[in-house]
């Protein structure tokens, strides 16, 4: 088993969490190797070396961004993924990959996905987008991706703005909510074209778009859209042309897992979708944020064997 550790996750708390649970992990799982993540490029080289050395169990120790980094390193390094096991140790602030949390998979408050016996081949979201220089990029997600308010709020939450950092020290959930409310108050709906499964593009003024393989996101928020990790589909949750009041109301309902059927919302189940706009927008992928004006989401069925 190879563990890749991000000691800087959760604003530096990751290292303390790791030292607290490492002895318990060694008691339960025996011997394993640990390497710190220096950079995304370095992680790619670390994973390639581990694969050549015969390692087949890979664990991301960090937040959802760390899960995303390791997933992408594996997806870019492997031709055949059936004999790989992917798991995670939740040292981050939200840890959506581990949700819903299970009491039997928590060590000293840290949630785990390290049940090797109950691993399943899970779908992966493939995200193809173009950057400011119009160069194509491909990234992969295991949890979800978003455009609009959620993506912009995520960028604010991770921005290290002093007042956000102050709230984070008091409550992660409060900091997430404050980031979302600040975004809503200044956000302008995004004029765009959305194409589902190759159908005729439709025009929207996008307030928020969530593309999910796990309904949980951003702390306590959760969609009620039916989705399974291995059903070969993407759950699509769209908020269209909302006012500030309507966006705040939807935010509140997401904390109660009540999204479907609300005014100006639509839900879809699809294998792929494309979004294009004449303006740049924030695109969030498992907590990582970039900017683009066109993106294609596609499901890769049963692409990674994930621990439960």
What average pLDDT is seen over the chain? 90
Token reading at 60? 């991301």
What per-residue confidence (pLDDT) applies to 269? 94
Residue 211, both tokens:
């593309």
Fold category of 125-303 in CATH: Tumour Suppressor Smad4 (2.60.200)
Cα–Cα distance between 56 and 75 in angstroms, integer? 13
pLDDT at 82 over 80: no
Interval 194-207: pLDDT, tens = 999 888 999 999 99
The rounded distance, in Å, linking the Cα atoms of 123 and 213 is: 8
Between 63-67, 76-80, 235-239, the lowest mean confidence (pLDDT) is in: 76-80
Q: How confident is the model at residue 96, as a pLDDT?
A: 93
Give pLDDT, residue 70.
96
Who's near 269: CB < 8 A, 6+ residues apart? 226, 227, 233, 234, 235, 236
The separation between CA 23 and the C-alpha centre of its own chain, rounded to angstroms, equals: 28
Instruction: Note the CATH number of domain 2-118.
Output: 3.40.50.10330
Segment 161-190, tens digit of pLDDT: 776 677 766 777 787 877 888 888 889 999
Model pLDDT, residue 188: 93
Instruction: List the domain boundaries for the chain.
Output: 2-118, 125-303
User: How confident is residue 160, by pLDDT bands cut at 50, 70 and 90?
Assistant: low
φ/ψ of 200, rounded to 5, equals -60, 130
pLDDT in tens, 35-71: 999 888 899 999 999 988 889 999 999 999 999 999 9
Quick check: helix, strand or coil at residue 75? helix
CA dihedral over 12, 17, 20, 26, signed as positive or negative: negative
Provide DSSP, 142-174.
SSEEEEEHHHHHHHHHTTT-HHHHHHHHH-HHH
The confidence score (pLDDT) of residue 79 equals 62
16 φ/ψ angles, rounded to the nearest 5 degrees: -65, -40
Mean pLDDT on 267-286 = 94
Give the pLDDT score at 202.
94
Angle between helix axes 244-254 and 172-186 (nearest 10 degrees) is 160
Distance of CA 268 to the CA centre of its chain: 19
């Amino acid at each position: 088993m190879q563990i890749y550790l991000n000691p800087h996750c959760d604003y530096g708390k990751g290292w303390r969490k790791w030292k607290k649970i490492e002895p318990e992990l060694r008691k339960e799982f025996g011997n394993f190797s640990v390497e710190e993540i220096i950079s995304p490029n370095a992680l790619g080289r670390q994973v390639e070396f581990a694969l050549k050395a015969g390692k087949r169990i890979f664990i991301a120790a960090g937040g959802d961004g760390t899960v995303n980094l390791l997933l992408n390193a594996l997806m870019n390094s492997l031709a055949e993924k059936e004999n790989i096991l992917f798991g995670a140790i939740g040292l981050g602030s939200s840890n959506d990959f581990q949700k819903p949390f299970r009491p039997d998979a928590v060590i000293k408050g840290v949630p785990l996905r390290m049940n090797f016996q109950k691993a399943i081949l899970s779908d992966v979201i493939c995200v193809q987008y173009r950057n400011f220089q119009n160069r194509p990029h491909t990234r992969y997600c295991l949890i979800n991706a978003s455009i609009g308010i959620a993506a912009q709020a995520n960028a604010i939450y991770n921005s290290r703005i002093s007042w956000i950092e102050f709230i984070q020290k008091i409550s992660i959930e409060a900091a997430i909510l404050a980031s979302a409310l600040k975004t809503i108050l200044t956000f302008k709906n995004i004029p765009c074209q959305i194409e589902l499964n190759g159908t005729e593009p439709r025009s929207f003024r996008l307030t928020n778009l969530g593309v999910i393989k796990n309904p949980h996101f951003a702390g306590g928020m959760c969609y009620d859209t039916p989705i399974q990790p291995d059903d070969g589909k993407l759950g699509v949750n769209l908020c269209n042309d909302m006012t500030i009041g309507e966006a705040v109301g939807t935010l509140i309902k997401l904390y109660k897992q009540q999204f479907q059927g609300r005014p100006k919302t639509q839900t879809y189940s699809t294998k792929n979708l494309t979004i294009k706009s004449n303006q740049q927008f924030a695109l969030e992928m498992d907590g990582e944020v970039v900017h683009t004006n066109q993106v294609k989401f596609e499901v890769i069925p049963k692409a990674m064997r994930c621990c439960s």
